[in-house]
Amino acid sequence: MAKKITGADRYNLMLALVGYLIHNREVSMDDLASHFKVTREEVRSALVTVSFSGIKGYDPGDLFEFDYYKFNHEGVVKLILKPAIDEVPRISQRQAAALSAGLNYLRDIEIFAEQTEVTELIQILAQGTTGGSIPEIQIVPGTRAAELASVRRAMAEQRKLEFEYHNMRGEIKRRIVEPLLVSLEDKNITLRAFVQEDGMVKNFRVDRMRGAKVLDEPISAAAKAAEVIDANYIADQTDTEVTVEVAPEAHRLISQFNAEVIESRPDGTKVGIIKIGHLPNLGRLIASYGGSAKVLAPQAARELVRDYALSALGETAMSNLDREDD
């Protein structure tokens, strides 16, 4: 027997009616009332409410509507679905410019030079922007964008790369490397490349490169066979081993340096050995963890961290005073 409904039941009925009509586009109100075991008047009232309802971003009638002649004169509900997007969406000039810059870069690479698809995509982008044209983006030599463009070209063509590198010690050295992988590490774009003279994979921050250029020499079989370790820092033979104690909040320090864990405590604290290439940078690194990381050894590393903390507080470094350690 049909029943009169109110409140939440009526809301549920409206949802159910829409779902049912999507699968059964044309149904009489009598059949709907019988199917949902409610009165014909409840069905009509619910459908009228649905027809005047909208959702965020769409007004009533934008997504669907009923055939109102059939609804009012024949007692038949016919659902008419409307496409949510009437036209192909157009992207902004800024979005198109970013895509076009990458495509133009690909077009200048030897292996893509003969592929007309790249040029066609650039033309399609121009047609799809709100202004009908794409503003040009220039890559200025000497900027990180220019160095990164050279890195990507070397990788795409599998050629060696030469650049001037400014390391963390402030030293400048001309390097010839065989690029393998580019990754984003702590907001820094890093190139992992095989270095023939060292016989190993090393990390190079792109923002520390100057004058990168692609050489004609292809990368070697040794570079192709080299293992790229999934770690933010790749240790060197001259690095200093530092024993650190880290709370759970600083566990990233262990993974960041691919550290050897020598002790794991019940409270989550870990003791591990990390390798640091330039010890004076250790103070800033440990301080970035806000007390969750501590240096246990060697003593020189402890003093550097202590002096950095005192300097940050505006005090004189203890290692510069004639005082005994605590």
Q: What are the tens digits of pLDDT across the range 168-209?
A: 777 889 999 999 888 766 567 888 889 988 788 888 888 889
For residue 117 the two structure tokens come to 């698809």
Residues 307, 318: contact at Cβ < 8 Å? yes
Residues 293, 284: contact at Cβ < 8 Å? no
Contacting residues for 236 by C-beta, under 8 A, at least 6 apart: 198, 202, 275, 277
Per this entry, what is the length of the chain?
Answer: 326
Q: What is the 3-state secondary structure (H, E, C) of the chain?
A: CCECCCHHHHHHHHHHHHHHHHHCCEEEHHHHHHHHCECHHHHHHHHHHHHCCCECCECCCCCEEECHHHHHHHCEEEEEECCCCCCCCCECHHHHHHHHHHHHHHHCCHHHCCCHHHHHHHHHHHHHECCCCCCCCCCCCCCHHHHHHHHHHHHHHCEEEEEEEECCCCCEEEEEEEEEEEEEECCEEEEEEEECCCCEEEEEEHHHEEEEEEEEEECCHHHHHCCCCCCCCCCCCCCEEEEEEECHHHHHHHHHCCCEEEEECCCCCEEEEEEECCHHHHHHHHHCCCCCEEEEECHHHHHHHHHHHHHHCCCCCHHHCCCCCC
Please compute the mean of the pLDDT values over residues 57-77 and round it to a whole number.
Answer: 73
pTM of the model: 0.38
Bond before 298 cis per omega within 30 degrees: yes
For residue 274, the cross-strand partners are 242
Residues 69, 56: contact at Cβ < 8 Å? no
Q: Which of 125, 72, 80 is nearest to 98 (CA)?
A: 125
Question: Which range, of 75-79, 123-127, 256-260, averages the lowest pLDDT?
Answer: 123-127
Residue 259 has what pLDDT?
77
Whole-Å CA distances, 124 to 85, 89, 93, 106, 174 = 19, 13, 13, 16, 42
Comparison of pLDDT for 101 and 199, the residue scoring more: 199
Question: Which range, of 31-40, 189-198, 304-313, averages the lowest pLDDT?
Answer: 304-313
How would residue 317 be classed by pLDDT, with cut points 50, 70 and 90?
very low
Q: What are the tens digits of pLDDT across the range 204-223?
A: 888 889 989 999 999 998 88
From CA 278, how far away is CA 238, in angstroms rounded?
A: 10
Please determine, for residue 58, whether its predicted confidence score (pLDDT) is greater than 60: no
Top-ranked range on mean pLDDT: pick from 76-90, 110-124, 150-164, 224-238: 150-164
Q: What are the tens digits of pLDDT across the range 240-249?
A: 889 999 998 8
From CA 157, how far away is CA 214, in angstroms rounded?
A: 9
Residue 280 has what pLDDT?
79
